[in-house]
Homo-oligomer: A and B are copies of this chain.
């Protein structure tokens, strides 16, 4: 197909007329679809229903060391849960704290603790004039919401298929003592589905931070969330790499089973160095008597081991892979060669990232919404919700049924075309 960029105004106006008629048909369908968030669909949730049967009234609710998991205690989690989550995170169980149901809450808590009490004896961030975080962008809106809530200045760092711009990261981290952290989704990143290259991870581990309390906030949200059995991204393990590089305390690594079992009823975890663990325990012991050990045991009894978890993830992949593939095919069919958009083709994770022509993302999302499909707000993949190019759109394929998603995909591509033509005509005028 001929690129819109090369078309004459007349050609574009003709095309626009046809497209607007098509859009009108969509409006008449009165759709009500939601593809705004990275939520598993019903079929995915059904995969974990067996978890409701592994503990029952006659079951022994003792952990392997004989602890009655029904009672108080065991602040950092039962050992078999640490072993399972350790295998999932590729970390030693002894480096792990099992938390409650939400890794977002653990991240919030980690920032809050640094804010109120400081990290390993350093000045609490609340006593500093300025605290900055680097934010590889586009990125995860809920990360940015935490740092914004604490008044932390967010500096966007460009993302590439190999990870954040490491020249910029190295420069800012080594020169500015106010830079205290960086948000990372290293594997199947949110929203692009990019995975950090070996070089990127190695450069992370070898940073020379000006601030002694600089930490990498390594959100390993999609560590085992592959779409394909035979084509998976593999990353260098960051804790180990940091240790080798002489920076053992530089990383907090987060993960959870939210998109493995039930969102909101999974278990979350933090993996970090012994020094950081000791530092965190000073808070944790004042914060709670312990997290939900019955749910920890439920997860262990359900999966048994990491192989059980991997097998489970294959079933997730079977459900969501067709959705990703259909979207990519639709984009190719509808938009290929038009020169008005690019999209990522992730091998895992929960999102596809779409780049419109500059200045079109908001208008596209608005138009799609008026057509009956709610998408993630344009801009929300950037700090302060400010996408400098107004071009990034996060697409969350997992939740709607495939048939609905097909309709939404057509509507989306249609809106991209309409908005792009309008933009091109406006600029030619």
A residues adjacent to B (C-beta < 8 A) = 37, 39-40, 42, 45, 48-50, 52-53, 55-59, 61, 68-73, 100-102, 104-105, 108, 112, 115-117, 124, 126-127, 142, 145-146, 149-150, 258, 262-265, 283, 285-295
A264 to B69, CA, bound (A): 9
Q: Is the CB of A116 within 8 A of B105?
A: no
30 contacts between A and B (CB under 8 A): A45-B71, A52-B55, A52-B56, A52-B57, A69-B264, A70-B263, A71-B262, A71-B263, A72-B258, A72-B264, A73-B264, A100-B101, A100-B291, A100-B292, A101-B291, A102-B290, A104-B288, A105-B288, A108-B286, A108-B287, A108-B288, A126-B126, A145-B285, A262-B294, A263-B289, A264-B289, A264-B291, A264-B294, A265-B292, A295-B295
Q: Is the CB of B290 within 8 A of A264?
A: yes
Beyond the given A71-B264, A101-B292, A126-B127, could you list 4 further A-B residue pairs with CB under 8 A, ordered by the A residue number? A72-B258, A116-B126, A145-B286, A265-B292
| Closest beta carbon of chain B to A319's beta carbon, Å | 14
Select from chain B the residue with minimum beta-carbon distance to A51. B57
Task: Provide the main secondary structure of the chain A interface.
Answer: loop
Kindly report how many copies of this chain are found in the complex they form together.
2
Select from chain B the residue with minimum beta-carbon distance to A59. B52
Q: Is the CB of A50 within 8 A of B45?
A: no
Q: Is the CB of A150 within 8 A of B71?
A: no
Q: Is the CB of A71 within 8 A of B40?
A: yes
**Cβ–Cβ < 8 Å partners of A68 in chain B:** 42, 45
Known: A52-B56, A68-B42, A286-B149. A265 touches B108 (CB 8 A): no
| Closest beta carbon of chain B to A205's beta carbon, Å | 29
Select from chain B the residue with minimum beta-carbon distance to A150. B116
